[in-house]
Structure 1
Amino acid sequence: MITAVNAANAYNAARSAVQPDMAAAPASVAKLGEAAQDFASQMAQVDAVSTSAMTGQTDTHQLVQTIAESQLAMETVVAIRDKVVEAYQEILRMPV
């Protein structure tokens, strides 16, 4: 019979098997955070250039170039998100 105590003990024993490698984690987490900051700054730049273009302070060519760059960044983020969701769904389909 499975009790809550037995389940908790089994979980505690198995936790080390699925725990991330702490030696490699800081570098990968830092790179992920850096990528998120780069994306946020790209979107902030688009907002600033768009506002400047509406007030006549920025050239139309600069606006189009910035929008094209932001579109590429957005497509990259969406592609990464799709891959993460696909991997998660694949994990969910694995037999236990």
Structure 2
Amino acid sequence: MTDHRPRCPRCAHGSVRTLYSSPVPGVWDVLQCGRCLYTWRTSEPARRTCRDAYPEAFRLSPEDMANAAEVPTVPPLRTTGTTGTPGQPN
């Protein structure tokens, strides 16, 4: 028997949830992996939606994720100058 449940193309995890479905039913869904958080639309090409076609260089294993460096925090926004435009010199 073939398992037709979606699996994550990046890490092969089976916990995938639907984030959004197209306004026209059945056209596409936006899916997200519960483990690595990879997100894709089902209408994208196989290299983005199918584990067998997903580029090997970008695949993740459970070991890759366990040994990944911590993602740095996003620094606070800078305050605006007198021009009112962020990032512009005063």
Alignment TM-score, normalising by the size of structure 1: 0.19
Q: Relative contact order: is structure 1 or structure 2 higher (C-alpha 8 Å, sep ≥ 6)?
A: 2
* Structure with greater proportional strand content: 2
**Bigger radius of gyration:** 1
Which structure carries more helix by proportion? Answer: 1
TM-score normalised according to structure 2 size: 0.19
